[in-house]
Amino acid sequence: MSEALRRHVGVWRERPPWRDVTFKCAFHNTIYDVFKSRGWRETESELDWDIFWCEKDWIHDTFDKIHLQPNQKVNHFRNHYELTRKDLMIKNIKRAQRQAQRDGLHEDAERYAKCSPLTFMLPTEYSMFVEEFKKQQANGTIWIMKPIGSAQGKGIFLFDKLSDIAGWKQRPSWMQRDEEQRNPRAAAKKEEDEDEQQKDPEPYVVQRYLSDPLLIGGKKFDLRLYVLVTSYVPLTVYMYRSGFARFSHERFSMDSIADPMVHLTNVAVQKKSEHYDEKRGGKWELRSMKQYLLQREDPPKVESLFREIQDVIIFSLLAVQKIMIQDKHCFELYGYDIMISSDLKPWLIEVNASPSLTANTSADYAMKFGLLDDTLTVLDFEKYLTGNEAQVGGFDLLYKNGARVGPSEKAVFRSYLGCHNNRTTQVAKLARALGDQERRRRHD
C-alpha cells in the first residue's frame, strides 16, 4: 500500500525515503514480511535501527539502559502492563471510576463501571469477593477465575461454589502439567521443595461470568479488535476498521461449566476441538459479522453497540493515561478482546500488548498484513504525512487532544468500526492529495 505514497510523494524526493529506513525484528511472521515488502533494510545492530519490533522482555530488561535517537521507535511503552495485565487493568479502571465520582463526573464514572464485568483481585480482595459471592449465590451467579500471568486460556475455569476454589492457593494443575511436560525431574524436585514451605497464593482475577452472551449459530464468540496508540500525552488513538470474531466450536450451554470448548474462545483452546475448522480457523471477519447483526437485530441498537465498544476502548485508555510513562520513542498496537451480551452490550475481557501476528488462514494473513502495513504508514518513518489525517489506510483517528474524533452526532453510522475497509483506495487518494501539495510547494 505504501507504493501509492512512493509514487505520488516520494517521487519528489532527491533520494527515495524508504531506502533510508532500517528495522530490527524479533519475530519472523507477518510483521517481518511487511517490513521487507516496504523495501526497508534489515539490521542486526544492537542500536542502529529506526524501528525495533521487540519482545516485551527487551523493554523490561534493556530499554532503560540505552539512549535512543529522536527518529527511533519501539513497539511497547515502558509500563504497558498497567493496561495489559489483567489485575492492573481492573485496578486502574476502578481507580479512575472512583476519581471521576469524587470529581462529580458521574457520567464518566458510569462509563468506567461499564467497561468490564464485576471483578475482584485475589488474594488481596478475597474477603470482598466472598461477601459478594454470598449476595449473588441465590441468583445462581457463575464466576470465572483467570491467573494474571498466563495466556491462551491456560488456568481459566468456571465455578459456582466456594469449595471449587479451595485449591487456588496451591500451584494450579495446569502449571504443574506444563512443568512436568517440559522437565519431569525438575517438576518433581519443585513439588518436594514446596511441600517443605508454604508457597504464596498465585494471583488471580475472578469475574462474574457472562452467562447470557450473544450467540451466533448457537455458539459463543468474542471480538479481537486492534487499537494503535502513538502517544499518551496527548492521548492519540487510532482504531482499525477490521478485526474478527473468534468462535467456540461447541454449542453454548450452561449445563456444563467445566467444558472449556463451550466457554473459552481462545484459538489455542479451540484448536484441540474435534470440530475445529482448519479452513476458517474459527474466525469470522468483523464486517461480515456486523452486517449479520444489522440484518438480525434492531439496526440502531447495533450501531449503538459499536459506538459503545469504542467508548470502552477510550475509557480503558483514559484510565491508564496518567500513569503510563510517556515516551516519544514508543507506540503500542493493542489487541482488545470484547465480549457482547445478549442485550447488545460490550464488555472488556482483556487487552493484549502482543496480539498474535501469526496467521492461521490466508484471509487472516491478508487482514494482519494490511493492519501492520497501515501501522507503519501511520508511524510515518518516510515523512509522507502532515499529521492532521483523520484516516490513514484502515485506521481511523478515534481520540486526540482530549476529544473524540469520528462521524458527527447526526451521522447514520456513528462508528467506522466494522465498516468497509477501504485502505487501498483511501491511501491512494491521500497520496494524490499530498503529492499535489508537494508539487505546488516546489513550484511556488
Of the pLDDT bands very low, low, confident and very high (cuts 50, 70, 90), residue 8 is low
Determine the pLDDT at residue 275: 66
Q: Examine the pLDDT at 233 and tell me if it is beyond 70.
A: yes
Q: What is the pLDDT of residue 344?
A: 97
Contact 306, 265 (CB under 8 A): no
Torsion of CA 239, 242, 243, 244, to 10 degrees: 150
Mean pLDDT calculated for residue range 31-38? 94
Residue corresponding to grid cell 498497567: 82
Residues 185-223: pLDDT tens digits? 655 555 555 444 445 678 899 999 999 999 999 999 999
Residue 55 CA to residue 25 CA, distance in Å, equals 9
The pTM score is: 0.90
Spatial separation of the C-alpha atoms in residues 231 and 326, rounded to whole Å: 7
Residue the block writes with cell 469477593: 129
List, in sequence order, every residue forming a beta bridge with 341; answer none if it has no partner: 213
Distance, in Å, from the CA atom of 226 to the CA atom of 173, rounded to the nearest integer, reads 33
Cβ atoms within 10 Å of 328's Cβ, excluding its own:
12
The C-alpha cell that represents 154 in the structure block = 491456560
pLDDT at 423 over 90: yes
Average pLDDT over residues 237-264: 91
Residue 32 φ/ψ, nearest 5 degrees: -65, -40
Q: What pLDDT is attached to residue 408?
A: 76
- Which residue in the block uniquely carries the three cell numbers 464466576? 143
Give mean pLDDT, residues 53-73.
94
Asked whether residue 175 carries a pLDDT value surpassing 60, the answer given is no
pLDDT for position 178: 47
The DSSP annotation for 92-160 comes to HHHHHHHHHHHTT-HHHHHHHHTSS--EEEETTTHHHHHHHHHHHGGGT--EEEEETT--TTTT-EEES
**Are 77 and 323 contacting, i.e. CB atoms less than 8 angstroms apart?**
no
Radius of gyration of the CA atoms of the chain, in A: 23
More confident residue, 363 or 444: 363
> What is the overall mean pLDDT for the chain?
87
The residue to which cell 470474531 is assigned: 245
Q: What is the pLDDT of residues 352-364, one digit of tens each?
A: 999 999 888 899 9
Q: For the segment 365-410, what is each residue's pLDDT rounded down to a tens digit?
A: 999 999 999 999 999 998 889 889 999 999 999 999 899 998 877 7
